[in-house]
């Protein structure tokens, strides 16, 4: 029995390798698939034959011009059948639900943004709001819920991947918001939820696995402070799924008030509201909810720093020192080969850089702090969706497609949609 289980596992893994190669490279001949994946011709032939029978891939004749002396038919290329199944990628943030319908080729076919009231959303009201938003979205796309086999959700805040709950988030008035359970009940699809910074980490690994592999960390400086960890080539989320809550690690006991309600968190010195609070000399116990920060507040602070404003420059410099102390802890604990800084606040990195290196120098001996590479990456919100897509495709390939799959539906191809209020 164990030998059969091992063979089945290897076969599922090889199926996933072939599907991912087609998703990355587009239409490919069998011989080229073998070279790309390093699988034997017999393995490639056997697996692609099954995938063709299941309607998961399609064959088409190559349009490449034949050599003058070449004989016979043009070689056959294989491509993913985009309409075989669909996945749904969802991002939950303050007042917004972002929905993206993704085909089997990994392409976004439709997207929209739906607004809700974060100030009143709680465990009782939000699940119904989310389910109805998805139903309407799929109806407008002309896609039956049964065609959606994976639903991936990324949320701000503290996310419990094992229970499917958002434990705490600035996007909700309440705590312990159930997400996975209601979605599975409503749509019958496999569903998972993760912290949004984890999905940025997943996206980087998917887009450039040579550079972002092994052990590396991502720190997002934005409305809050998030972290994603890749340890030994795997996304790490801990026993309950709440690992790497970098922003809510304590920096100064009894210090500045954090949006989570505790005092002294790293976020209380690094987030957008923390920077505005420091630059405007507001007391450290000022309620973050009363501080006008966000994209506009942070942008204004960056403008002031650029024009030489002492208060703004000092706020960024001191935040940089706090960041340096925080990064020092990460380096000392996991020894990452690479650390990535991203998020809206990296626009101000030039004003934070000197303080960050000062904090690192103070907190860590040179033997440890010289072993990593720092990447400062301009913020792109699509990172989060790209990570959701990458994880959804991987789960779909390995889990669902390891079993027999019905032929693809012949329903109309979904269109595109603009964001709606």
- Write out pLDDT tens, residues 91-117: 999 999 999 999 999 999 999 999 999
42 exposure class (CB count in 10 Å sphere: 0-12, 13-18, 19+)? exposed
- pLDDT value of position 224: 87
Distances (CA, A) of 353 to 347, 357, 360, 393: 11, 6, 11, 37
Q: Which residue has the higher pLDDT, 132 or 76?
A: 132
Q: What is the pLDDT of residue 243?
A: 79
Q: Mean pLDDT for the chain?
A: 89
> Residues 222, 234: contact at Cβ < 8 Å?
no
Collapsing DSSP to helix, strand or coil, 339 comes out as: strand
Distance in angstroms (rounded) separating the CA atoms of residues 413 and 101: 11
| Percent of the chain at pLDDT exceeding 70 | 90
Angstrom distance (rounded) from CA 323 to CA 359: 7
Q: What is the per-residue pLDDT across 397-414, written as a single tens digit (0 to 9) for each?
A: 876 555 544 444 434 455
Extract the runs of DSSP E, i.e. beta strands, from 264-402: 338-342, 373-376
Say yes or no to pLDDT of 242 above 50: yes
> What values do phi and psi take at 109, rounded to 5?
-100, -20
Backbone angles phi, psi at 202, to 5 degrees: -65, -40
**Lookup: tokens for 301:** 């602070």
Decide: 178 and 165 in contact? Cβ < 8 Å.
yes
Partners of 40 in beta bridges = none
169: alpha, beta or left, given left = phi > 0 and alpha = psi -120 to 50?
Answer: beta
Sheet holding 28-29, edge to edge: 28-29, 76-80, 57-61
pLDDT band at 19; cut points 50, 70, 90: very high
Residue 58: count of CB within 10 angstroms of its CB: 17
Over residues 350-361, mean pLDDT: 97
Q: How far apart are CA 127 and CA 176, in angstroms?
A: 11
pLDDT at 72: 52
Question: What stretches of 104-239 adopt beta strand conformation (E)?
Answer: 108-115, 148-155, 158-160, 165-168, 177-178, 190-195, 216-221, 225-231, 234-236
The predicted-structure confidence for 289-326, as pLDDT tens digits, reads as follows 899 898 899 999 999 999 999 999 999 999 999 999 99
Prediction pTM value? 0.84
């Amino acid at each position: 029995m164990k030998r059969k289980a091992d063979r089945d596992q290897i076969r599922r893994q090889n199926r996933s390798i072939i599907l991912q190669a087609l998703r990355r490279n587009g239409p490919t001949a069998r011989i080229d698939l073998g070279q790309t994946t390093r699988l034997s011709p017999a393995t490639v032939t056997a697996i692609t034959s099954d995938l063709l029978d299941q309607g998961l891939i399609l064959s088409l004749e190559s349009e490449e011009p034949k050599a003058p002396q070449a004989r016979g038919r043009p070689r056959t290329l294989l491509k993913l059948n985009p309409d075989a199944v669909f996945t749904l990628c969802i991002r939950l943030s303050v007042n917004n639900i972002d929905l993206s319908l993704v085909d089997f080729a990994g392409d976004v076919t439709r997207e929209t943004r739906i607004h809700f009231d974060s100030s009143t959303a709680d465990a009782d009201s939000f699940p119904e709001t989310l389910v109805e938003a998805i139903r309407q979205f799929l109806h407008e796309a002309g896609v039956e819920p049964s065609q959606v086999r994976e639903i991936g959700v990324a949320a701000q805040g503290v996310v419990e991947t094992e229970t499917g709950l958002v434990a705490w988030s600035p996007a909700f008035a309440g705590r312990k918001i159930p997400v996975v359970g209601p979605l599975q009940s409503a749509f019958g699809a496999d569903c998972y939820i993760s912290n949004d910074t984890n999905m940025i980490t997943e996206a980087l690994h998917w887009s450039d696995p040579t550079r972002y592999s092994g052990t590396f960390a991502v720190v997002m400086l934005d409305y809050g402070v998030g972290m994603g960890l890749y340890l030994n080539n795997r996304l790490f989320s801990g026993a309950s799924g709440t690992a790497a809550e970098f922003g809510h690690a304590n920096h100064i006991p009894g210090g500045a008030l954090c949006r989570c309600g505790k005092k002294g968190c790293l976020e209380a010195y690094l987030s957008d509201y923390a920077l505005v609070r420091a630059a405007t000399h507001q007391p450290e116990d000022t309620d973050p909810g009363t501080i006008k920060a966000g994209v506009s507040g942070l942008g204004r602070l960056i403008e002031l720093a650029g024009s030489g404003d002492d208060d703004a420059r000092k706020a960024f410099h001191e935040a940089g020192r706090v960041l340096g102390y925080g990064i020092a802890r990460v380096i000392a604990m996991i020894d990452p080969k690479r650390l990535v800084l991203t998020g809206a606040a990296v626009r101000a990195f030039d004003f934070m850089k000197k303080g960050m290196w000062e904090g690192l120098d103070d907190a860590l001996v040179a033997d440890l702090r010289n072993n990593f590479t720092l990447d400062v990456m301009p913020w792109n919100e699509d990172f989060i969706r790209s990570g959701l897509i990458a994880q959804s495709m991987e789960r779909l390939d390995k889990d669902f497609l390891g079993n027999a799959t019905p032929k693809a539906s012949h329903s109309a191809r979904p269109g595109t949609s603009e964001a709606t209020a």
